């Protein structure tokens, strides 16, 4: 069995939904578990609904826009499918009911109940279209199997429970061959029955969860780019395809900010040695990228990742005493408590420097740190990471730029540049 994942960009409109059927027509003999994200920018739109709901503003126009958009695509790709239309209407009615009640005050929990619907709607539409196009499939509620803890918006998977649920509810759907099951990315459910989400862009991770549970032969993420590249093709000319890299390398690249795959996706796949393919849904002949155990190609091409909008913070004890363990553990605690992720760190005798995303949370953290430390910062920096660097690549990226901080290991060079 193969697991396929189609992201929001691939199903953003009727043409995108039809294209999914086009892709599947090349895999008629395969058992497929297909994971689909919310259509286009639906998740962002639903986030706006959540914020408005929390503030007691009128959400009806926003919801009506989403309803109209999904209904229009459904009518186009699966004309006359009354069952699908009824399911879609039912889901929107339920949303209206929720929004008609007062917010629980638990924003993250409300968020998950509301934002998860984007995936429900998209899978109803895609499933209906596939049937219309002659691809029999079972619409499956991912929450039946993806059991999580109750950390809303950042839920953790409870693997043992998932395995039991999968064997019971999902496995049997593949008894008849070829089995074709269509389900949602991004969403899960607690043992108490509350919907949870796995974090933004979590659908790749969902695909990996299902692959792990079903012992899939492979996962394919279908994207609007023909694979993983050594730099963001939208930002740099002359980028090169990484045609074959290891899980480890892909984890490093995604950790440092390469946004092609969600960092957490790789771990479950690595555990079961399931290869991941990243391929183009517009160019089916393009070879794409393969990610698996083999690492011999990892160092062939320097890869570079640029993260703009970074804040370089330098923290010094007020009395110029040394930065020691007690200071560091206190500082780390503040970062963890405020959920500010450190992208790079470096220390000298007197100063501890970190690079973080420039967000309101980070600014609040600076104010907090200033109670005990002398804090200086530079905003608007670029954090540049180069894996398997060579001097020409480093020169190309840093020449003429002011380097505020530099760090090199054998495999990775990192620079904080003033922009
Ligand atoms: N729809 C969710 C998001 O936009 C999950 C995903 O697309 O991976 O974040
Ligand atoms: Mg997405």
**Ligand 1 centroid from CA 89, angstroms:** 22
Beta sheet of 2-6, edge-to-edge order: 138-140, 180-184, 32-36, 2-6, 218-223, 276-280, 289-292, 244-246
Length of the chain: 419
Instruction: Give the span between the Cα atoms of 2 and 26, in whole angstroms.
Output: 13
Q: Quick one: pLDDT band at residue 242, thresholds 50, 70, 90?
A: very high
What pLDDT, in 10s, does the model give residues 92-120?
999 999 999 988 889 999 999 999 999 99
Instruction: Give the span between the Cα atoms of 200 and 366, in whole angstroms.
Output: 26
- 399: tokens are 């020449």
Identify which of 294, 291, 262, 293 has the alpha carbon closest to the alpha carbon of residue 277.
291
Average pLDDT over residues 48-54: 96
What pLDDT, in 10s, does the model give residues 308-362?
999 999 999 998 888 888 889 999 999 999 989 999 999 998 999 999 999 999 9
Residue with token string 């995303």? 357
- 36: tokens are 């689909």
What pLDDT, in 10s, does the model give residues 157-192?
999 999 999 999 999 999 987 899 999 999 999 999
Q: How far apart are the first and last CA of the chain?
A: 47
Instruction: Give the dihedral sign, CA 70/71/73/77.
Output: positive
Specify the pLDDT at position 320: 82
**Ligand 1 centroid from CA 327, angstroms:** 38
Residues with Cβ within 8 Å of 213's Cβ and at least 6 positions away in sequence, in order, are 145, 162, 163, 166, 170
Instruction: Give the span between the Cα atoms of 317 and 351, in whole angstroms.
Output: 8
Q: What is the pTM of this model?
A: 0.91
What pLDDT, in 10s, does the model give residues 255-280?
887 777 888 899 999 999 999 999 99
On whether the CB atoms of residues 317 and 375 are closer than 8 A, the answer is: no
Angle at 64 between CA 58 and CA 69, to 5 degrees: 145
On whether the CB atoms of residues 291 and 230 are closer than 8 A, the answer is: no
Instruction: Give the span between the Cα atoms of 189 and 171, in whole angstroms.
Output: 19
Domains, the chain, in order of start with CATH, read 2-223 (3.40.1160.10), 303-418 (3.30.2130.10)
Ligand nearest to the CA of 186: 1
What pLDDT, in 10s, does the model give residues 142-159?
999 999 999 999 999 999
Instruction: Give the span between the Cα atoms of 25 and 19, in whole angstroms.
Output: 10
Using CB distances shorter than 6 Å, the residues near ligand 1 are 7-8, 37-38, 43, 118, 185-186, 200-203
Instruction: Give the span between the Cα atoms of 74 and 161, in whole angstroms.
Output: 34
Tell me whether residue 332 is exposed, middle or buried, using C-beta atoms within 10 angstroms of its C-beta: 0 to 12, 13 to 18, 19 or more: middle
Nearest-CA residue for ligand 1 atom 8 is 201
Nearest-CA residue for ligand 1 atom 2 is 201
Instruction: Give the span between the Cα atoms of 272 and 268, in whole angstroms.
Output: 7
Measured from the Cα of 201, ligand 1's closest atom is 8
**Ligand 2 centroid from CA 3, angstroms:** 17
Measured from the Cα of 38, ligand 1's closest atom is 1
């Amino acid at each position: 069995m193969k697991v396929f994942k189609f992201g929001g960009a691939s199903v953003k409109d009727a043409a995108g939904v039809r294209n999914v059927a086009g892709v599947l027509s090349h895999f008629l003999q395969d058992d497929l578990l297909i994971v689909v994200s919310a259509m286009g920018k639906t998740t962002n739109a639903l986030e706006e609904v959540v914020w408005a709901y929390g503030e007691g503003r009128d959400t009806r126009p926003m919801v009506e826009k989403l309803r109209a958009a999904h209904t229009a695509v459904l009518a186009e790709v699966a004309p006359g499918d009354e069952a699908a239309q009824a399911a879609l209407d039912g889901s929107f009615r339920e949303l209206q009911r929720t929004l008609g009640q007062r917010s629980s005050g638990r924003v993250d929990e409300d968020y998950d109940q509301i934002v998860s619907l984007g995936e429900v709607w998209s899978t109803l539409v895609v499933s209906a279209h596939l049937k219309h196009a002659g691809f029999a499939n079972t619409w499956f509620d991912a929450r039946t199997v993806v059991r999580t803890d109750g950390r809303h918006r950042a839920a953790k998977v409870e693997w043992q429970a998932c395995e039991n649920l999968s064997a019971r509810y999902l496995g049997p759907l593949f008894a008849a061959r070829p089995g074709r099951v269509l389900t949602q990315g991004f969403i899960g459910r607690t043992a108490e029955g509350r919907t949870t989400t796995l974090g933004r862009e979590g659908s790749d991770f969902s695909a990996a969860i299902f692959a792990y549970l079903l012992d899939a032969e492979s996962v394919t993420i279908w994207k609007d780019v023909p694979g993983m590249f050594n730099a963001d093709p939208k930002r740099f000319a002359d980028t090169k395809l990484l045609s074959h890299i290891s899980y480890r390398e892909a984890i490093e690249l995604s950790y440092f900010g390469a946004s092609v795959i969600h960092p957490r996706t790789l771990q479950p796949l690595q555990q079961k040695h399931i290869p991941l393919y990243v391929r183009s849904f517009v160019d089916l002949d393009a070879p794409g990228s393969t990610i698996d155990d083999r690492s011999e190609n990892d160092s062939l091409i320097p890869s570079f990742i640029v993260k703009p909008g970074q804040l370089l913070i330098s923290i010094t004890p007020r009395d110029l005493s040394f930065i020691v363990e007690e200071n560091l553990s206190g500082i780390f605690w503040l970062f963890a408590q405020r959920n500010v992720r450190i992208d790079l760190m470096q220390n000298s005798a007197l100063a501890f420097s970190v690079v973080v995303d420039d967000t309101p949370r980070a600014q609040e953290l600076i104010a907090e740190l200033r109670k005990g430390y002398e804090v200086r910062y530079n905003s608007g920096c670029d954090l540049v990471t180069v894996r398997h660097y060579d001097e020409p690549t480093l020169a190309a990226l840093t020449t003429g730029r002011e380097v505020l901080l530099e760090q090199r290991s054998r495999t990775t060079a990192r620079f904080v540049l003033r922009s």
